[in-house]
Structure 1
Amino acid sequence: MLTATAITLAGLGAALGLSSGAYTSRIQKAHPPSGRRIEVGGYDVHVLEAGKAGPPVLMIHGASANAREFSWTLAPRLEKDFRVLMADRPGHGHSRRPPGAEALGVQAAQMAGVLEQLAAEEPAIVVGHSFGGAVALRLALDRPELVKGLVLLAPVTHDWGGDGHAWYNRFAASRLIGPAFSQVVPLVGPSQVGAGIGGVFDPSPAPEGYFEKSGIGLLFRPPAFRANARDVRVLDRELAAQSKRYGELSMPITVFSGSKDTVITPAKHTARLKKQVDIDLIILPEEGHMPHHKHGPDVVDAIRRLASLPGSR
């Protein structure tokens, strides 16, 4: 016979499931999959597109985000002269998540599939923000023939000696309690996200309407929240191995780094990358972790410059 406690817990779990399901339905109606779905390795990748002709540019978003991050920032500045592809990473936005997708090599393989199917005519300029910078670097290492140049925005590039992640990622990433814990996230996450947004932009102010324009609410769907947690929980270990290969990179690389970035400390990442690879490092004074917002024109100029260099597949 079920105890009163068991009945109560079962009822609570059912209520949380219904609540998170309602949230998921509501947020996906607000931010539907408005791009193209392509199959890579048996799993759909959702890709937003802008521009119909010109050199290809693939943009890879960071943690806690999705492809919409670029749709109203960089893409409008490029769409007249470039084919811009903005891909949701595995398990984020509206992309499905293959097994083992917390590995940078798996994420890079999904991005490689996007280029192979949508930009087969010539190598692309690959833009990566934060976590997306790590994926962009892995794509360039594993499939250099697909990449003409890299533009990295406040990238995470190296291990930093510890997980350094928020307590909730530790719980959400757990295979044992993660599914149950993540059911609570839609109830509390959206109301708490304001401080986090302010922190990534600091010392610059967050743009008006950033939460809605970038579809940040998609993060708080339980499967997406767990995917994000698993990604960041293993990132330190992944980068410890990946960074040993950076000497293999031969394509031109431009890196934008905010001097006041407290999310990805430049000294632990971009400064170390510069010691291994010949990069064009642009230090932005009084800038935080989101350089493509305030310094969008400079980022676009860098993309144009790399795209104009000679070289083909």
Structure 2
Amino acid sequence: MISLALIALSAVGVGACVSSAAYTSKIEAANPEAEGRMLTVNGHGVNVLTAGNSGPPILMIHGASANAREFTWTLAPRLSADHRIFMADRPGHGYSERFDGAEHLGEQAAQMAGVLDQLAPGEKAVIVGHSFGGGVALRLALDRPDLVKGLVLIAPVTHDWGGGGQAWYNGISAAPLVGPVFTQLVPTVGPAQVKAGIEGVFNPAPVPEGYFEKSAIGLLFRPPNFRANAQDVQALREELGAQSPRYPELKVPIVVFSGSQDTVIKPNLHVGKLKKQVPVDLVILPDEGHMPHHAHGADVADAIRRLAINDKSR
């Protein structure tokens, strides 16, 4: 009986691996690595999408469950005429390499810093961070202030929020033993279930037409990517708890865009706390959720542009 169960379980595992490999091949063909530029930073590959050929540099850092393509059709076209834009995949996302310890915000910030060291040496950039990327952007400004002219944070996570808000599958996916097995099943169910999740992220704003394809959300459901995302999210509270006492060190202008009806995070537990530690230019958007850079892309781009041409810091 035990032998039969093990054989059946093995068969399911093999089938899942075959299915996930087929999915990975298909989604990567639709969103090829060749669209980016691979840099070696601290011994690990970082995939960077670029736009614009001249002007002040801008580094954009995506959130959880996403990749650098999030910005290629939202903010980059609004700024590429007079700025150099670098959109980097965080470690384990898109096509950037994952490595041990990559769930730590300091490690992710170091990879982003390396992008600027190579592509804009000796210059300061405006750092744009969405959601999880906001936490990385803040850490970059703390650890490498020599690289940062200002921060534009979009629905950022900034502090330990005290628990809750974790999807059950992240705990399983991040687990050392069962995680690699469980994530092999993700390509068979994840893409079909993602529609309701996307609507919740945008709510009450509508989901832009073609969002799933344009932002290459399908890359998330490759097993290693899904596991990396889960590890990031599982570690985030503790990471922010350790990082947030340092925020008074920040000496650069900070603009935050926050949706008044964001249900993914509670803004009062994040930007509300950040405002008590450091001056923030807070833009509250009514009838907006967790993705304000879509419907309010022009306003976000204007804020980025203002910081990019401003030579004065606080």
State the TM bucket, normalised to the shorter chain: over 0.9
* Code of the aligned partner of 1:32: P
Aligned to 1:28: 28
Aligned to 2:152: 151
Aligned to 1:39: 40
Q: Distance in 1 between matches of 2:101 and 2:270?
A: 25
How many angstroms does 1:121 deviate by? 3.8
Deviations 1:50-89 (A, max 9, x none): 0001000000000000000000000000000000000000
Deviations 1:206-259 (A, max 9, x none): 000000000000000000000000000010110011000000000000000000
* Secondary structure, aligned partner of 1:38: strand
How many angstroms does 1:164 deviate by? 2.6
* Secondary structure, aligned partner of 1:126: strand
Q: Distance in 2 between matches of 1:210 and 1:80?
A: 23
Q: Is contact 1:163–1:236 with CA below 8 Å preserved after alignment?
A: no
* Secondary structure, aligned partner of 1:301: helix
How many angstroms does 1:311 deviate by? 4.7
Q: Distance in 1 between matches of 2:229 and 2:14?
A: 24
Q: Which structure 2 residues correspond to residues 66-215 of structure 1 after superposition, within 5 A?
A: 66-215=67-216
* Code of the aligned partner of 2:8: T
Percent identity between matched residues is 67
**What stretches of structure 1 of length at least 5 have no aligned partner?**
none
Q: Which structure 2 residues correspond to residues 244-255 of structure 1 after superposition, within 5 A?
A: 244-255=245-256
Aligned to 2:297: 296
* Code of the aligned partner of 2:30: A
Q: Distance in 1 between matches of 2:15 and 2:124?
A: 49
* Code of the aligned partner of 2:104: A
Q: Distance in 2 between matches of 1:100 and 1:300?
A: 33
Number of positions where the alignment pairs a residue of Structure 1 with one of Structure 2: 312
Q: Which structure 2 residues correspond to residues 222-261 of structure 1 after superposition, within 5 A?
A: 222-261=223-262
TM-score (structure 1 length as normaliser): 0.98
Q: Distance in 2 between matches of 1:158 and 1:113?
A: 25
Aligned to 1:10: 10
How many angstroms does 1:163 deviate by? 4.9
- CA RMSD across the alignment: 1.2
Q: Distance in 2 between matches of 1:70 and 1:164?
A: 25
* Secondary structure, aligned partner of 1:3: helix
* Code of the aligned partner of 2:56: P
Q: Distance in 2 between matches of 1:6 and 1:202?
A: 44
Q: Distance in 1 between matches of 2:75 and 2:86?
A: 11
* Secondary structure, aligned partner of 2:198: helix
Q: Distance in 1 between matches of 2:189 and 2:252?
A: 44
- Deviating beyond 2 angstroms after TM superposition, the runs of 4 or more aligned structure 1 residues are none
* Secondary structure, aligned partner of 2:32: coil
Deviations 1:118-144 (A, max 9, x none): 011410000000000000000000000
How many angstroms does 1:110 deviate by? 0.3
* Secondary structure, aligned partner of 1:204: coil
Q: Distance in 2 between matches of 1:311 and 1:277?
A: 17
